[in-house]
């Protein structure tokens, strides 16, 4: 069974650093991209970026480039999302997702998020 299990809720102060995690199991962790999605309180979904654990190739949404760092440790099947200096506006639920690409005779048919972690709530408040 494919599972993405995220680390627990965090309460931090502005300016502090944070690293949250997402552990994959039940599939070949190095063969699928892992992404991160933000959901601010009462709001919609925002795609942040993805990493390919096989070679650590990482892509960021322009909205999040420079604001966060995505990494992965394939030896323990775990992806990370980190901040060096949190702001109150980083308060949100963060989901990790498995990004699947379907190919048909070399043609890309679909990219989608087929598995989601349970979410990590990050609260930043003084």
Partner 1 sequence: DIQMTQSPSSLSASVGDRVTITCRASQSISSYLNWYQQKPGKAPKLLIYAASSLQSGVPSRFSGSGSGTDFTLTISSLQPEDFATYYCQQSYSTPRSTFGPGTKVDIK
- The contact set with partner 1 (CB under 8 A) reads 37, 44-47, 49-50, 59-62, 95, 102, 109-114, 116-119
User: For the chain, first and last CA: distance in Å?
Assistant: 40
Q: How far is the CB of 75 from partner 1 (least distance, A)?
A: 25
- Tell me the C-alpha distance between 45 and 47, whole Å: 7
Pick between residue 62 and residue 66 the one whose CB is nearest to partner 1: 62
What is the DSSP pairing of strand 33-39 with strand 10-12?
unpaired
Residue whose pair of structure tokens reads 């650590």 in the numeric block: 56
Q: How open is the CA angle 5-114-20, to the nearest 5 degrees?
A: 30
Pick between residue 50 and residue 92 the one whose CB is nearest to partner 1: 50
Q: How far is the CB of 45 from partner 1 (least distance, A)?
A: 4
Pick between residue 74 and residue 119 the one whose CB is nearest to partner 1: 119
């Amino acid at each position: 069974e494919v599972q993405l299990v995220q680390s627990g809720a965090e309460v931090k102060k502005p300016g502090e650093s944070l690293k949250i995690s997402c552990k994959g199991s039940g599939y070949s962790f190095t063969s699928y991209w892992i992404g991160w999605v933000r959901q601010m309180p009462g709001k919609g979904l925002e795609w942040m970026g993805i990493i390919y654990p096989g070679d650590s190739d990482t892509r960021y949404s322009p909205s999040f480039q420079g604001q966060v760092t995505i990494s992965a440790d394939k030896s323990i099947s775990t992806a990370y999302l980190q901040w060096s200096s949190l702001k109150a506006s980083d308060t949100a639920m963060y989901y990790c997702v498995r990004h699947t690409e379907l190919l048909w005779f070399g043609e890309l048919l679909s990219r989608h998020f087929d598995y989601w972690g349970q979410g990590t709530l990050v609260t930043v408040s003084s």
